[in-house]
């Protein structure tokens, strides 16, 4: 056993305090992460009037994941269409429309109406489904 006055024992309280500070910092960062994600989702729902929890099924049903990389959607790693990560931070949708919820919904429903030569097909997605997809994309 080391004497109480040894350098190792005199540093022990600092090590404990440091470990606690790191744990608290990590917990606060995680809280901020979840709060930010929750706020983004609430904002996306308000903007689009869609339900992002329905998006994964819709993305798969219409084959979106075959052409696009979509964050959080397993297997959505297509390279034909644009990567949809960070869509909420972009200025334009598909390089032709100002980034707004209504423009995104319109693009998803009828892309040729905005850009006749686009490679994105008319998929038959309804406006309601497009709102769910837009909500998801703005939330992620």
pLDDT tens-digit series, residues 73-113: 999 999 999 999 999 999 999 999 999 999 999 999 999 99
Which domains occur in the chain, in start order? 7-139 (1.10.760.10)
For residues 76 and 70, is the Cβ–Cβ distance under 8 A?
A: yes
Q: What pLDDT is stored for residue 87 in this prediction?
A: 93
Task: Give me the phi and psi of 69, to 5 degrees please.
Answer: -85, 125
Tokens read off for 63 = 């084959």
CA distance 10 to 82: 58
Radius of gyration, CA atoms only, the chain: 23
Q: What is the mean pLDDT of residues 55-74?
A: 95
């Amino acid at each position: 056993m080391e004497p109480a006055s040894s350098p190792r024992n005199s540093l022990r309280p600092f090590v404990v305090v440091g470990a606690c500070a790191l744990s608290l910092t990590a917990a606060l960062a995680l809280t901020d992460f979840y709060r930010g994600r929750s706020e983004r989702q609430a904002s996306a729902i308000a903007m689009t009037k869609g339900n992002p929890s329905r998006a994964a099924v819709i993305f798969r049903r219409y084959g979106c994941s075959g052409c696009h990389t979509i964050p959080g959607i397993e297997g959505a790693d297509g390279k034909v269409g644009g990567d949809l990560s960070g869509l909420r931070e972009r200025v334009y949708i598909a390089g032709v429309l100002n980034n707004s919820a209504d423009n995104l919904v319109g693009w998803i429903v009828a892309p040729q109406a905005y850009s006749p030569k686009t490679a994105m097909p008319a998929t038959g997605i309804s406006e309601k489904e497009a709102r769910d997809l837009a909500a998801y994309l703005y939330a992620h």
